[in-house]
Amino acid sequence: MTAVDFGTGPFPHPVEAGAAALFDDWAAAGRDRSMADGHRDVTGQLLDNWALDAAHHVLDVGCGNGWAVRWMLARGAGAGAGVDVSAAMIARAQGLRDGGRCHFRVASAASLPFAEGAFSHILSVESLYYYPDPAAALAEWARVAAPGARLGVIVDLYRESPATHAWIGALGVPVHLLSEADLPALATAAGWTRATTVRLRDRRPPTPPADFAPSPFWPDYGTYLSHREHGSLALLASR
């Protein structure tokens, strides 16, 4: 793991406050929907391994507009919760919520407002590397995980995928550049078992070159294609 000293502090930690401000802006600009769309296929591949049923209580950490919580309910989970440090994202999630089987809270990934053993499945999509202390978050998730609970964490920004390293500057907030070996090591140290990683590649056709618009995140088409080839990195573990 890259040594970055984020310091310590009360909620919101300065790093969390920076992430909250960034994602409040993204929510205001409607980017919660494009994020959800971008992450949907790889998240679906991870969820295909979870046979969700009515007895399951699922949690999504860094849930954005809550799309994955709603999707896990549609896939059979009995109840769901989502937390995010961005109040604007949580407001969107609450607005999109249908029915009483899910709820959304503003909270830090490292300090969850839930009882020990509350969840059978914990998901986190493209969120872990923003945290001041990813190890502390993984330990907190272990606290709220029931015995035998499943963990699924997806990141696109990781050491072995150089195509996404431009994001480190483009995002404008501090991030961790974790490696494929870091994730299971961190999870195991945090109390998770059978921690492993898998690459998940979006099965949808890539944007054609004619429709590609360079941005600070994707400076050129080759970088975008390289990301598609490297895929997302998923950490899978059990409690």
Compare residues 52 and 69 and give the one whose CB is closer to ligand SAM. Answer: 69
Q: Is the Cβ of residue 131 or residue 158 nearer to ligand SAM in the bound state?
A: 131
Shortest approach of ligand SAM to residue 18 CB, angstroms? 9
Q: Give the nearest distance from C-beta 35 to ligand SAM in angstroms.
A: 4
Tokens 């849930």 belong to 63
State in angstroms the smallest separation of the CB of 139 from ligand SAM.
14
Interacting residues with ligand SAM (CB under 6 A): 16, 19-20, 23, 35-36, 39, 62-64, 83-86, 89, 108-109, 125-127, 130-131
Pairing between β-strand 119-125 and β-strand 57-61 as defined by DSSP bridges: parallel
Q: Which two tokens stand for residue 37?
A: 């769309």
- The nearer residue to ligand SAM, 64 or 152, going by C-beta atoms, is 64
Q: How far is the CB of 38 from ligand SAM (least distance, A)?
A: 8
CB 57, min distance to ligand SAM, A: 18
Closer residue to ligand SAM, CB minimum distance, 63 or 144 = 63
Q: Measured from the CB of residue 209, what is the shortest distance to ligand SAM in angstroms?
A: 25
Please give, one letter per residue, the 3-state secondary structure of the chain: CCCCCCCCCCCCCHHHHHHHHHHHHHHHCCHHHHHHHHHHHHHHHHHCCCCCCCCCEEEEECCCCCHHHHHHHHCCCCEEEEEECCHHHHHHHHHHCCCCCEEEEECECCECCCCCCCEEEEEEECCHHHCCCHHHHHHHHHHHEEEEEEEEEEECCCCCCHHHCCHHHHCCCCCCCCCCCHHHHHHHHCCCEEEEEEEECCCCCCCCHHHCCCCCCCCCHHHHHHHHHHCEEEEEEEC
Total count of residues recorded for the chain: 239
Residue 7 or residue 147: which is nearer to ligand SAM going by CB? 7
Tell me how far, at minimum, the Cβ of 55 lies from ligand SAM, in Å: 24
Closer CB to ligand SAM, 18 or 52, in the complex: 18
Q: Which is nearer to ligand SAM, 34 or 193 (CB)?
A: 34
Which phi and psi angles does 148 have, rounded to 5°? 85, 0
Instruction: Quickly tell me which residue has 């001041």 as its tokens.
Output: 132
